[in-house]
Structure 1
Amino acid sequence: MIFRDATVDDLHEIAALLADDDIGASRESVNDADMKRYETALRAIAAQPGNRVLLCMDGDEIVGLLQLTLIAGLSRLGMTRAQIEGVRVKRERRGQRIGERLFEHAIDIARSAGCGLVQLTTDKRRENAKRFYERLGFVATHEGMKLEL
């Protein structure tokens, strides 16, 4: 397994991974007409320092991904934190520790960047994901809230 940053050429596979579950299927798209939106987003991510989409590769195959964003902050004595989101592992490759390796890599990046903590949110319906994050040492210390715009 190797890790690398996503490129525009990866967007069809990324969109397919994001859409490959009940929740993702209702909010993602694999239609060619929507690829421009993903491209615009990926270019914005790449342009923002400390923001990247990490891919886990097995040869030429994308087997997992996540978005890692480093966030400078004033609280906690000006601590920088890392935010992880958009986590996916290819359905047929789950249970092979790909997600764990991807998280280890992302956490190493965060640690090297001086982050004091790594945070994430997960949809309450994703019970398996919650168990996975807890197994990795994440603790549900806060109640997350969102406002759709």
Structure 2
Amino acid sequence: MIIRAAVRSDLGAILRLLRDLGEAAPTQSGTVRMSSATVRAWTRIENDPERTVLVAERRGQIIGTLDLIVIANLTHDAQPWAVVDNMVVDAAYRRTGIGRALLEEAVNRAVQAGCYKIEMLAHESQSIAREFCLAMGFSASAEGFRRYL
């Protein structure tokens, strides 16, 4: 297995994985619809030097992904911080170290970028995700709030 930055040709596989997060709906044929808005969003993501979509690939198949964003900051001597979002591993490969490898690569990249912290949110209903975050050295140090627009 390798962990690498995603490229445009990975987009369909990434969208298939994101279905598990409820972010992409399959078509009747089971494939993921790739709208022009999705392609425009991908173009923005791949052109953003502070953002990296990582994928885990095994034997040519994308089996995991996450989105790493490095954010400029005015505190902590202007050190940036990072956030991980949209992390998902193919159901057939969960609990096999794929998530750990993805998140370790994200942490390494955040360290290389000079980040003073990295954040990752787990939905309160996802006890397995919460346990994973704790096992990876993250602490439940804040209470989060969201307002969907």
Same-fold status (TM-score > 0.5)? yes
Deviation for aligned residue 1:28: 2.2
Which sections of structure 1, spanning at least 5 residues, go unmatched?
none
Residue number in structure 2 paired with 1:117: 117
Given the alignment of the two structures, is residue 29 of structure 1 paired with residue 25 of structure 2, yes or no? yes
Question: For 1:34 and 1:63, how far apart are their aligned partners in 2?
Answer: 19
Q: How far apart, in 1, do the equivalents of 2:126 and 2:17 lie?
A: 16
Q: How far apart are 1:125 and its partner, in Å?
A: 1.3
Q: Provide TM-score, normalisation by structure 2.
A: 0.89
Which has more helix, going by share of residues?
1
- Say whether the 8 Å CA contact 2:3–2:57 is kept in structure 1: yes
Q: Provide structure 2 residue ranges, at least 5 long, that are not aligned to the other structure.
A: none
| Residues 114, 91 of structure 1: alpha-carbon distance in 2 compared, 3 angstrom cutoff | same
- Aligned CA RMSD, in angstroms, stands at 1.5
In the superposition, the TM-score normalised over structure 1's length comes to 0.89
Provide the residue aligned with 1:39 in structure 2: 39
Match of 1:19 in 2: 19
Q: Which amino acid aligns with 1:2?
A: I
- The number of equivalent residue pairs is 145
Note if 1:148 corresponds to 2:148: yes
Aligned pairs (5 A) from 1:28-107 = 28-31=24-27, 33-107=33-107
